[in-house]
Amino acid sequence: MTVRKVIIPVAGFGTRFLPATKAMPKEMLPIIDKPIIQYVVEEAVASGITDIILVTSHAKRSVEDHFDDNKELESWLFKQGKKDLLEQIREIGKLANFIYVRQKGPYGNATPVLNAAHLIGDEPFAVLFGDDVFSCKVPRLKQMIDVYEKYRDPVIGVVKVGAEETKRYGIIDPGAKVEPHVYQLKGVVEKPGPEKAPSRLAAVCGYVLTPDIFGEIRKLKPGHGGEYVTLDAIQRLMKKRPVYACEVKGNYYDTGSKIGWLGANIELALTRKDMADDVRKLLKKLGRTS
């Protein structure tokens, strides 16, 4: 059975971007002229996903509104003759089938996954996070799904990070390499730091999971920082079946951090024909003045 559903948790407070996120979800912060969450959704759709399950909170209404129709705006754009913008706006709501679930339960990223269990049934599914943006020739999630379809076991997406960043992410013990960029996992350590990290491969790219993960999530006890963590449930699942790691080829932007968000804006602007020259001029100007 192919992977056609993705769960995207978007219920967090976004405290690293306060005060900007006091009234606006961090997922709606723009990278140039599109909100972060739209990049994530577009990548999922490009990977073959048809159903987008957004696990939200009462403060994330604007995320839902973004993927809905806006007839008033569409009418205004039509009257102004702004046909290109009108088409862009209309296409957002047509990207996929959007489903919204309110998050309920204890703190941690395993909770929103469990909240959406009733929508998954017996299908494999993906989990992506609303502030992780990738620029890849082959979409990040498509790379992971390809590994799942070959082995038919859960897949964790990983990227190489610096030593100090091992304090921020779950780091895998890669175990045996079964093919280039693919490992059969030996274990995962949550935020170990450089001294205890078994590798420099961070589990930041999301997951392709099978429905048996839900039983393992229900058995979880609070882990690092008192959180209920999906990686802990995956480690439990590893005792029963293989789990693979796919080292994603491409550029990763942690837009949940200020420097990651800024870097994404600059680097992605440099890929746009309508902006690249002006951005280069700006960077040269800043370089001279600094």
Do 276 and 211 lie in one domain? The reply is: no
Do 117 and 213 lie in one domain? The reply is: yes
Do 165 and 278 lie in one domain? The reply is: no
**Do the strands 155-160 and 244-247 form a parallel or antiparallel pair, or are they unpaired?**
parallel
Q: Which residues of the chain have pLDDT under 50?
A: none
Q: pTM for this one? A: 0.93
Do 184 and 274 lie in one domain? The reply is: no
Do 110 and 142 lie in one domain? The reply is: yes
Give tens-digit pLDDT for 134-178: 999 999 999 999 999 999 999 999 999 988 889 888 899 988 899
What pLDDT score does 14 carry? 83
What pLDDT score does 169 carry? 86
What pLDDT score does 290 carry? 58
Do 160 and 263 lie in one domain? The reply is: no
Check if the beta carbon of residue 25 is closer than 8 Å to that of residue 255.
no
Tell me the C-alpha distance between 282 and 288, whole Å.
10
Give tens-digit pLDDT for 52-65: 999 999 888 999 99
What pLDDT score does 170 carry? 87
Do 15 and 145 lie in one domain? The reply is: yes
Phi, then psi, of 102 in degrees rounded to 5: -80, 135
Do 168 and 267 lie in one domain? The reply is: no
Which has the closest alpha carbon to 52: 60, 62, 61, 40?
40
What pLDDT score does 226 carry? 80
Distances (CA, A) of 232 to 43, 111, 206, 227, 229: 26, 12, 14, 10, 5
Contacts of 237 (CB under 8 A, 6+ apart): 154, 212, 213, 216, 243
Q: Six-digit token pair at 170?
A: 């779950």
Domain range for residue 156? 5-256
CATH number of domain containing 48: 3.90.550.10
Considering its fold, how many domains does the chain have in total? 2
Do 222 and 265 lie in one domain? The reply is: no
Do 99 and 25 lie in one domain? The reply is: yes
Do 63 and 108 lie in one domain? The reply is: yes
In this structure, the chain runs to a length of: 290
Do 198 and 72 lie in one domain? The reply is: yes
